[in-house]
Amino acid sequence: MEDKAYKNHMAGLQDGRKVDEPCTIVIFGASGDLTVRKLIPALYHLFIEGQMPESFRVVGFARREKTDESWRKEMRAGIEKYSRTCKVNNSQWQAFSKNICYHRGDLTDAVAYDALAERLTKSENNRLSSNLVFYLAISPSLFGEVVDQLHTAKLLNRYVEGDARWQRVVVEKPFGHDLKSAQLLNNHLMRHARERQIFRIDHYLGKETVQNIMMFRFSNAIFEQLWNREAIDHVQITVSEDIGVGSRGGYFEEVGSLRDMMQNHLLQIMSLVAMEPPPSLEAEDIRNEKVKLLKSIRKMTPEIVAQNVVRGQYFAGTVNEDSRNGYRQEERVDPESNVETFVAMKLFVDNWRWSDVPFYLRTGKNLPNRASEVRLQFRPTPNVLFAAQDNLDLHANALTLRLQPDEGISLRFNGKVPGNSIETRPVRMHFGYNAEFGAYTPEAYERLLLEAMAGDATLFIRRDEVEAAWQIVDSIRKGWGDTPLSNREFYAAGTWGPVAADDLLEVDNHVWHIPLPD
């Protein structure tokens, strides 16, 4: 049970849009790409939009030799290059940059953490020293080391009920590489922190349309009444990338698309789309329903894996008139590698709402365009009334939730073509965030950092969610075993995946929907 002080704190967050409590954010991995491309730009935009606390500090921790001023210059250049506005107002930057500083230290050096602790305590505002967010933008292999060092330096302790001070740890994916390693990492983190202090980040959950899935479902009776096996024929979830592995070949050889994308992004989206209505919008109520959904996915035996899961690997081709190497020709990739750069699967949710409704999930690299979408295709109408008409182009109704780019929602239905003849064609009603609200939707990291500072875990992944997803992925990997890729599992860069992925839907008389390009 949460203590009264904590509940009062959560109730005073002004609808989650403004963090009032002073805090310090310590970014481990301050010299890395994530910090300069995403984290500092996100914090800067939160600041200029008035969503940061009145008192805050950002401390970058890394081993390279830098001064406060040199790190600030690097971060400003990063904002100008990577942020959603790419413009920095001098007066706003001066006000923001006085709150950020750099701390040099090796992640394994206890002395560096002692010096960090001493630095953090030098503040006129005690809350800046006691309210701490530790963002681990580092290799997952170092997560355990860092939390151990923070605990030894008395910067991180398990929360005690009634304590007004708080510390939180934000960790990036990948969270383990299988169920066993995820469990070991969870156990390690929880030596020094409670579950409510750990924020496992998946940036897809910060996207506006992903967050809008629940609002769209549960506040619109016309759709929620159709959100079940009686009306929906099947569901497709696609996350496509138009880039290859690039310089990440060595990393990708260790993970592949199944671990890199399916275990977190796609299964998280599926859980939001298919979960039951939570009793409230409290973080734990929402996450309870997501876990129930993941645990309701039909067990993946080796026989089911062979029938319902397809992997693929790209060979040389052309994407948007750009020639691409094959995966086996990428840097630090085994020339005989069987690592998958594409995964497609058919899943079933064994509960009352979704019984026998197939969920098709796919993700891949070097596909024709970059897109993320959820498509719910409704059952077709009985072919009785219009059976005698030869010129009717009747399509099943479909609802598409587009997560990126051009976030929005569209509904496809059949309409009569104007004129004297009875001719139909599919038409689309489209809602776009930018067009409707006239504002750029915030970057995912802006929302996630804001919620981490506020202590709202709704958009973060709980321990049992992580482990439930790994159980699914591990069973698939076990089903694959050491079997090499077949000829039907290779695809040319610039195409929509291997022939085997089309076969997966063809047996059900379905076809993949092709997402629109940017």
The reply to whether 430 belongs to the active site is no
Catalytic residue selected from 45, 265, 395, 510: 265
DSSP-derived secondary structure for 418-448: SSSS--EEEEEEEEEHHHHH-SPPPPHHHHH
Q: What distance separates the 2 farthest-apart alpha carbons in the chain?
A: 84
**Residue the block writes with tokens 């439930």:** 468
d(C-alpha 272, C-alpha 211), whole Å: 9
In 146-227, at which residue ranges do the beta strands (DSSP E only) sit? 166-171, 198-200
Q: For residue 366, what pLDDT band results from cuts at 50, 70 and 90?
A: very high
Closest CA to 498 of 366, 325, 402: 366
pLDDT tens readout for residues 175-228: 889 999 999 999 999 999 999 999 998 877 877 667 778 888 888 888 888 999
pLDDT tens readout for residues 298-336: 999 999 999 999 999 999 999 989 999 999 999 999 999
pLDDT tens readout for residues 157-175: 987 777 778 999 999 888 8
| Residue 12 predicted with pLDDT over 70 | no
pLDDT tens readout for residues 423-434: 777 778 888 877
- The pLDDT of residue 114: 96
Q: What is the 3-state secondary structure (H, E, C) of 329-398?
A: HCCCCCCCCCCCCEEEEEEEECCCCCCCCEEEEEEECCCCCCEEEEEEEECCCCCCCCCCCCCECCCCCE
Q: Looking at residue 482, what DSSP letter applies?
A: T
Cα dist. 59→139, 155, 393 in Å?
19, 14, 60
d(C-alpha 321, C-alpha 164), whole Å: 58
Give the number of other CB atoms < 10 A from CB of residue 483: 10
pLDDT tens readout for residues 476-507: 999 999 999 999 999 999 999 999 999 999 99
| Residue 144 predicted with pLDDT over 50 | yes
pTM given for the model = 0.88
- The pLDDT of residue 15: 45
| Residue 414 predicted with pLDDT over 90 | no
3-class secondary-structure state, position 78: helix
- The pLDDT of residue 461: 92
Cα dist. 303→338, 475, 508 in Å?
20, 11, 18
Contacts of 2 (CB under 8 A, 6+ apart): 10
| Residue 131 predicted with pLDDT over 90 | yes
d(C-alpha 147, C-alpha 108), whole Å: 11
Percentage of residues in the chain having pLDDT higher than 90: 67
- The pLDDT of residue 298: 96
Contacts of 242 (CB under 8 A, 6+ apart): 319, 320, 366, 367, 368, 369, 370
What is the pLDDT averaged over residues 76-81? 92
Give the number of other CB atoms < 10 A from CB of residue 280: 9
d(C-alpha 220, C-alpha 283), whole Å: 21
Q: What is the 3-state secondary structure (H, E, C) of 393-419?
A: CCCCCEEEEEEECCCEEEEEEEEECCC
Residues counted in the chain: 518
Closest CA to 38 of 74, 78, 11, 98: 78
Residue 235 near residue 357 (C-beta atoms within 8 A)? yes
Amino acid identity, residue 150?
A: L
pLDDT tens readout for residues 443-456: 889 989 999 999 99
- Specify the range with the lowest mean pLDDT, choosing from 138-142, 291-295, 368-372, 379-383: 379-383
Q: Kind of pairing, strands 56-62 and 317-319?
A: unpaired
Top-confidence residue, 439 or 285: 285
- The pLDDT of residue 392: 63
Q: Looking at residue 483, what DSSP letter applies?
A: P
What the chain holds in terms of domains, given with CATH numbers, is: 4-172 (3.40.50.720), 207-441+465-506 (3.30.360.10)
| Residue 296 predicted with pLDDT over 90 | yes
pLDDT tens readout for residues 22-47: 999 999 999 999 999 999 999 999 99
Residue 23 near residue 133 (C-beta atoms within 8 A)? yes
Give the number of other CB atoms < 10 A from CB of residue 323: 10
To the nearest whole number, what is the mean pLDDT of the chain?
88
What is the pLDDT averaged over residues 231-260? 93
Assigned token pair, 281: 């919008």
Q: For residue 6, what pLDDT band results from cuts at 50, 70 and 90?
A: very low
Top-confidence residue, 395 or 362: 362
